[in-house]
Amino acid sequence: MLQTLPAAAATDEAPSRPILQLVGVRKVFGGFAAVEGIDLDVREGEFLTIVGPSGSGKTTLLRMLAGMDQPSEGNITLRGELINDMPPNKRPTCLVFQSLALFPHKSVGENIAFALKVKGVDAATRKKRALELMRIVRLPDNYHDKNVMKCSGGERQRVALARAFAYDPEVLFFDEPLSALDYKLKKALEKELKDLHRETGKTFIYITHSLEEAMVMSDRIGVMRAGKLVQVGTPEEIYGAPVDRFVSEFVGEVNTLKMKRAGAEWHGVDVPGTFTLSPPKDGASLDEAFVVIRPEYMRFLAPGERADNQLTGTVYNEYSLGSRIQYQIRVGEKVMLAELSRARALAPGASSEVTIGWDAADAFTLGS
């Protein structure tokens, strides 16, 4: 049965060996490679999220992990056992679908306990277990006999989670389960999913197109593009040290400026001026490069104030983001973004002509 673990057991002392391994996994439909040469180790007890644009191959990858599709090439192993041809019902895994796939004619309790009924568990034990799982996913006991279709969208999502836990899987797969929910409910369930992961110690593999979901919940994130895993790392690594321009622009808003080297100096292609760049993280020697600056590292410069790099432009729009304000600044034909706390925001009535700047250490230099 599903065990609730102490928080430390779910995080700090996770075994180093992978629970799932993918080696050279490839999936071809006709002449099209939907997934191309994936190598990946999934650590036991981690929350791994795969993100990518539509058509990147993330759902195809999930279907292979769940046993709904077989790899065209390569191997998938679970605790060292090859599972390429193992059907979904024989795997110690469970998939929470985007559509939830609940039984509309059954009650909340009957939906949750369905797997136990199939296993021949008696009715009293099924009800006891369903109530335990309802408490874990924060559903009141009196919902046990309520028709599932009379529940709200968020409540049905919790029923689907409880039903998945009833299988007592070693690995839970999630196929964009929050995509149809409104923003406030989605944010609440993101936190609850992260809490459930920590409390149960289960391995979660989550598929989404939402970077925000991935950043909030995940231990590690894998970014897919055109069937390949471009980068796998912690949220901090993905956000702060992207391996290429695609990852940097997919993972949040950025300012991207093209540069050309002339001797020892870097000159702007999109904007005028000479710039100081941080060295590329891979140590490559480049004659052309892109410098990428997150909006929160841009700042307005007062007269006499300096930064490693600076540009003069015109503020033409601003957007309130709650505790922060985002500004759009035109520098010639280029639009730059600066995001500042309200304490550092421009004063009302300030001139629209501004100087913005950033330090080389707060940006990253990419070759592509």
Amino acid at 122: D
Q: Confirm if 186 and 218 have CB atoms less than 8 A apart.
A: no
Six-digit token pair at 3?
């065990």
Name the percent of the chain in helix, strand, coil, to the closest 5.
Answer: 30, 35, 35
Distance CA 191, CA 187 (A): 7
Report domain extents, the chain.
7-245, 254-366
Report helix, strand or coil for 63: helix
Q: For tokens 């797997």, name the residue.
A: 115
pLDDT reading at 250 higher than 80: yes
Most distant CA pair in the chain: distance in Å? 79
Amino acid at 179: S
Per-residue model confidence as pLDDT tens digits over 272-299:
999 999 988 776 788 999 999 999 999 9
Distance CA 148, CA 169 (A): 23
Per-residue model confidence as pLDDT tens digits over 208-232:
988 888 999 999 999 999 999 999 9
pTM for this predicted structure: 0.85
Per-residue model confidence as pLDDT tens digits over 293-343:
999 999 999 999 999 999 999 998 999 998 999 999 999 999 999 999 998
End-to-end alpha carbon distance in the chain: 49
CATH number, domain 254-366: 2.40.50.140
Report helix, strand or coil for 203: strand
For residue 2, the model assigns a pLDDT of 44
Distance CA 49, CA 102 (A): 24
Average pLDDT over residues 4-23: 61
Question: Class of the 7-245 domain?
Answer: alpha beta
For residue 137, the model assigns a pLDDT of 87
